[in-house]
Amino acid sequence: MPSARSGVPPACGPDTDTAATPIPAAGRATNPAGAPAGVRVEAQAPREPGDARIAAPGSGPRAAIRWRVLTRGLWVAAAAAAALAGGLPRLWDAALAQGPAAYRLAAVLAGALALLARARRRPGEPSIHDRQIDYLVGLPLLLLAAGELTVPPARYGDRFWAAHADLIALPLLAAGAITVVFGTRALWRARVPLAAWAAVLVPWPQSVLHPLSDGLAWPALAVARAAATLPGGWQVVASPPGDTIIRVTGSPAGDVALGGATRGLAGGLTVAVLVVLTAATATGWREAPRRALASGAVCALAIVGRLLVAVLAGAVAGPSGARVVLGHTGDLVTLTLLLAAVAGPGLAAGPGRTRGVARRPATGRVAAARPAVPRARVALALVAVVCAGLAALDVAGNRQVTRPPEQEAGRHPGPAGTVGAR
């Protein structure tokens, strides 16, 4: 067979590329036989079967496949959010109460981000899917999610909904939807984040949740005690068990609760959840401790920084300024910063490099665009139907719950200007 070095173009066939657009790194400029004088023709190197070359960035089969995967992911996310929409008001009430149960709202958001961090394929992963196995694995998971919202509520009644036990159905629902829509390989990639997500959403009893939350409040308490030496005259007048109150010296209404800085939406339990879920996104056991330590350091800096900002706000604007920083607004801002700082690098890094497989193809060649899982319309319709049924169960059950868990546990609002129990 004539080669590009001899100046004769290769023969046309299934394994050759005769496209008009040259690839600079594929060959060298020559004057093959029969070409007009003065015209330089660049020989094309043969390519392997299945290679796809995209003419322009953002177009072609690769862009279409990415868009298809994105739309499927958005569909599954919207269906899962609608399935457990009945529990969102109770999660928001717990966040406003700045109690220990507020961390569950952060756990829901952090778990979704952990799944996104492990959603990409590893380099070299074969694009082979068996739809029968996908349904054999995914359908039982969807049935378990439905059973979790039907069997336990019939036995435990309002205590099931008050303890946020319905959130256990979220990892089961996500696992089933990922399997039937994206395939069993996608479920295997996300097995560790899904297991960690289910672990952090376990409905711990109040006898365990409150001591654990108080035990994780020691960093904030240490900073609060150290803040008494700063300008502003801060003084810690109470500490766990119970609530932690900071008093501004010289002000009659100067009691300010630490609130979310100790056990609320951005408190110690939320930090523990973020550390666990961030470690679960690692691709190996050696990488998991590094990610856990990095996320823990970021969370500690955020909480300490929030307390220092509250001290400065109290010194400048009085107790009202400190309440804004330590209140619900400060909770939302701190949680947003924590999720961005912890989950952002994980989403950008993606999966680790597989040993022996290069991340990018050779020069002058574009890797073949791997198609998405075929025949996903039936799976998407099935996920929508299951999520609609779960939404009906969840909303119907939550209508019976009228009191937040903190009030059922005997906790009541503190004095004026504070949040939590004394």
User: What pairs with residue 42 in β-bridges?
Assistant: 29
Tell me how far apart the alpha carbons of residues 28 and 48 are, in angstroms, rounded to a whole number: 19
In a domain, 155, yes or no: yes
The C-alpha R_g of the chain, in whole angstroms, comes to 28
Closest C-alpha to 193, from 259, 266, 274:
274
φ/ψ bin of 273: left (φ > 0), alpha (ψ from -120 to 50), beta (otherwise) = alpha
Q: Is 304 exposed, middle or buried (0-12, 13-18, 19+ CB in 10 A)?
A: middle
Q: Give the pLDDT of residue 18.
A: 41
Phi first, then psi: what are they for 136, rounded to 5°? -65, -30
In a domain, 289, yes or no: yes
Tell me how far apart the alpha carbons of residues 99 and 268 are, in angstroms, rounded to a whole number: 11
Q: Give the pLDDT of residue 182.
A: 86
| Contacts with 306 (C-beta within 8 Å, 6 or more apart), sequence order | 261, 266, 325, 326, 330, 334
Tell me how far apart the alpha carbons of residues 281 and 290 are, in angstroms, rounded to a whole number: 11
Tell me how far apart the alpha carbons of residues 355 and 185 are, in angstroms, rounded to a whole number: 18
In a domain, 331, yes or no: yes
In a domain, 18, yes or no: no
CA distances from 375 to 130, 134, 254, 378 (A): 11, 12, 63, 7
Closest C-alpha to 205, from 172, 165, 243:
165
Question: What does the pLDDT profile of the chain (422 residues) look like in tens digits?
Answer: 444 444 444 444 444 444 444 444 444 444 555 555 555 544 444 444 444 444 444 445 666 666 677 778 788 888 888 887 778 888 888 888 877 888 898 899 999 888 888 777 666 666 666 778 888 998 999 999 888 888 888 888 888 888 888 888 889 999 998 888 888 888 888 899 999 999 999 888 888 887 888 778 777 777 766 665 555 555 655 555 555 555 555 554 455 666 666 777 888 888 889 999 988 888 878 888 888 898 888 888 888 888 778 777 777 777 777 778 888 888 888 888 888 877 765 555 555 444 444 444 444 444 444 555 666 778 888 888 888 888 877 665 554 454 444 444 434 334 333 333 32
In a domain, 143, yes or no: yes
Closest C-alpha to 163, from 197, 204, 200, 196:
204
- Structural domain including 141 reads 64-350+376-404
In a domain, 418, yes or no: no
> pTM of the predicted model, to two decimals?
0.69
Count of the separate structural domains present in the chain = 1
In a domain, 380, yes or no: yes
User: What pairs with residue 29 in β-bridges?
Assistant: 42
Do residues 174 and 84 touch, judged by C-beta distance below 8 A?
no
In a domain, 13, yes or no: no
